[in-house]
C-alpha cells in the first residue's frame, strides 16, 4: 500500500524493525501511516494548540502555536520527501511528533525544567517526546505509550537543530552512532524552514521587526525584489505573504537539489548506506546555508530577544519555577493520578512530566489557583 516508486534507500513499512509490543491490528495500514494516525489522535498532540512558538497564546489568535508549526513542518517535509521519492508517511509522522515533548512557553520552559531537574536527569524536549510516545500516553490495552515503529521512535530522539541536541546516552537503543533515515534527516531542516519563515510573518504582524530591518538580509531582499518584479504594484500585505511563500519554495528547491547531489556523490543505494554516513545527507548548498544563517542570527537578535518577548520569558521562568517548587514541597497539590506514579518514576520526574504537559493557559491558570487567594481552586 506504500508508494510504489520509493527510492531504494527510502524507509519502508514492510522492512520496519517493528514495535516494542506485539499487537493484532484491526486493518492493514502500513506501519508508518499507523504511527502518524496514532500521533494525531494522542493527547499530547492536541495540547500543542495552546503551547508557545514565539508568542504566548493569549497575545493574539493570529500567531503560530506549536500545533500550527507542526502542521507547517509536515507540509514542507512531505513536499521534500515526495520529490526525493522518500516515505511520506514516515516523514509526516516525524514532523507531527517532533514537538510533542515541548513545554509551555517554548524554550524558556525547557530551560527552566532542565535547570530544576539537573540533579534528577535533566530535561530535553526530544527525550520528553520519546517518553510521551513510549510511556506517558495511555490509550491502548496491554501497554503504555503509543507503541510506534522503531524507525519513528528513532527519528524522534535523533531530531537535531540549533535548539535540539539530545544526549547520545538517551539514544543507545536507537544506535546513536548511526545516522537516522533520510526521512528523519528531512525534519531537521523542514523544521528550520518553517520556523524561520513563519517567525518573520509573526514578527512583522506583531510589529517587533519591520521590512527595513529585513532589507539588509540577502535571502529576504533577493526574494522580495523577485516578487516585486513578478507582481508589480502588489500591496504590502500580499507582497510580504508572497515573499515568504517564494522564500520557502526557494529553500525547498535548494535542499532537494543539494541532497540529490549528495546522494549521487556518496553513491547511496541502500538504507544502510544512509546510516553509515559521517554527516547528514540532507543539506542546503553552502551559499544558501550562509544566507539562511544570517536570517537565523537576525531573528535571534531582533525577535527572540525583543524586549517584549524577554518580559514574557522572565515571567514564565518565574512562575514555572514557583510551580515546580510548590509541587516538590507539597506533592499532595498534584492530582491523585500523578501522585500514584511517584514510586514508579520518582517524585521529581512525575512533577516534571506534569509541568511539561501543561499548555500555556493551564500553567497560567494553575499559577493563579495556587497563589491568588480569591481564585477558585
> Is the CB of residue 111 less than 8 Å from the CB of residue 200?
no
What are the tens digits of pLDDT across the range 77-90?
Answer: 999 999 999 999 99
* Rounded (5°) CA angle 255-48-185: 25
Helix, coil or strand: residue 189: helix
**How far from 20 is each of 90, 147, 150, 205, CA to CA, in Å?**
17, 6, 8, 45
Cα gap 368→330, rounded to integer Å = 17
Report pLDDT for 283.
98
- Proportion of the chain in helix, strand, coil states, percent, rounded to 5: 65, 0, 35
Report pLDDT for 170.
64
Report pLDDT for 164.
47
Report pLDDT for 196.
92
Q: Which residues of the chain have pLDDT under 70?
A: 55-62, 161-171
Residues contacting 42, CB < 8 A, separation 6+: 100, 132, 133, 137, 139, 146
Q: Which residues of 48-78 are buried (b: 16+ CB within 10 A; e: fewer)?
A: bebbbbbbbbebeeebbbbbebbbbbbebbb
What are the tens digits of pLDDT across the range 189-218?
Answer: 999 999 999 999 989 998 999 999 999 999
Q: With the C-alpha atoms ordered 53, 55, 57, 63, is the resulting torsion angle positive or negative?
A: negative
**How far from 50 is each of 53, 64, 199, 235, 364, CA to CA, in Å?**
9, 10, 17, 32, 12
Please, what are the domains in the chain? 28-309 (1.10.3210.10), 310-371 (no CATH)
Report pLDDT for 62.
63
Amino acid at each position: 500500500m506504500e508508494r510504489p516508486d520509493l527510492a531504494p534507500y527510502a524507509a519502508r513499512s514492510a522492512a520496519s524493525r517493528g514495535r516494542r509490543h506485539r499487537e493484532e491490528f484491526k486493518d492493514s495500514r502500513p506501519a508508518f501511516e499507523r504511527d502518524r494516525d496514532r500521533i494525531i489522535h494522542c493527547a499530547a498532540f492536541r495540547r500543542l494548540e495552546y503551547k508557545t512558538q514565539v508568542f504566548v497564546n493569549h497575545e493574539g489568535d493570529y500567531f503560530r502555536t506549536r500545533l500550527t508549526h507542526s502542521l507547517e513542518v509536515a507540509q514542507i517535509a512531505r513536499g521534500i520527501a515526495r520529490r526525493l521519492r522518500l516515505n511520506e508517511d514516515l516523514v509526516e509522522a516525524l514532523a507531527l511528533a517532533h514537538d510533542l515533548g515541548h513545554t509551555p512557553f517554548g524554550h524558556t520552559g525547557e530551560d527552566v525544567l532542565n535547570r530544576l531537574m539537573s540533579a534528577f536527569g535533566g530535561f530535553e524536549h526530544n527525550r520528553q517526546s520519546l517518553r510521551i510516545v513510549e510511556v506517558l500516553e495511555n490509550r491502548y490495552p496491554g501497554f503504555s505509550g503509543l507503541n510506534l515503529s522503531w524507525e519513528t521512535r528513532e527519528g524522534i530522539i535523533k531530531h537535531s537543530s540549533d535548539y535540539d541536541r539530545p544526549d547520545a546516552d538517551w539514544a543507545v537503543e536507537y544506535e546513536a552512532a548511526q545516522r537516522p533515515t533520510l526521512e528523519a534527516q528531512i525534519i531537521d531542516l523542514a523544521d528550520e524552514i518553517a520556523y524561520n519563515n513563519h517567525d518573520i510573518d509573526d514578527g512583522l504582524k506583531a510589529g517587533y521587526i519591520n521590512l527595513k530591518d529585513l532589507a539588509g538580509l540577502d535571502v529576504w531582499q533577493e526574494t522580495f525584489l523577485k516578487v516585486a518584479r513578478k507582481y508589480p504594484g502588489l500591496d504590502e500585505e500580499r507582497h510580504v505573504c508572497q515573499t515568504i511563500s517564494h522564500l520557502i519554495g526557494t529553500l525547498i528547491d535548494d535542499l532537494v537539489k543539494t541532497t540529490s547531489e549528495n546522494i549521487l556523490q556518496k553513491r547511496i543505494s541502500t538504507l544502510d548506506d544512509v546510516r553509515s554516513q559521517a554527516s547528514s545527507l540532507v543539506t542546503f548548498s553552502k551559499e544558501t546555508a550562509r544566507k539562511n544563517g544570517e536570517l537565523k542570527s537576525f531573528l535571534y537578535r531582533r525577535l527572540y530577544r525583543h524586549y517584549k518577548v524577554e518580559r514574557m520569558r522572565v515571567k514564565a521562568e518565574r512562575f514555572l519555577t514557583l510551580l515546580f517548587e510548590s509541587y516538590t514541597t507539597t506533592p499532595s497539590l498534584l492530582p491523585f493520578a500523578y501522585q500514584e506514579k511517584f514510586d514508579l518514576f520518582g517524585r521529581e520526574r512525575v512533577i516534571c512530566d506534569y509541568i511539561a504537559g501543561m499548555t500555556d493557559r493551564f500553567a497560567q491558570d494553575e499559577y493563579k489557583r495556587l497563589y491568588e487567594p480569591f481564585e477558585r481552586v
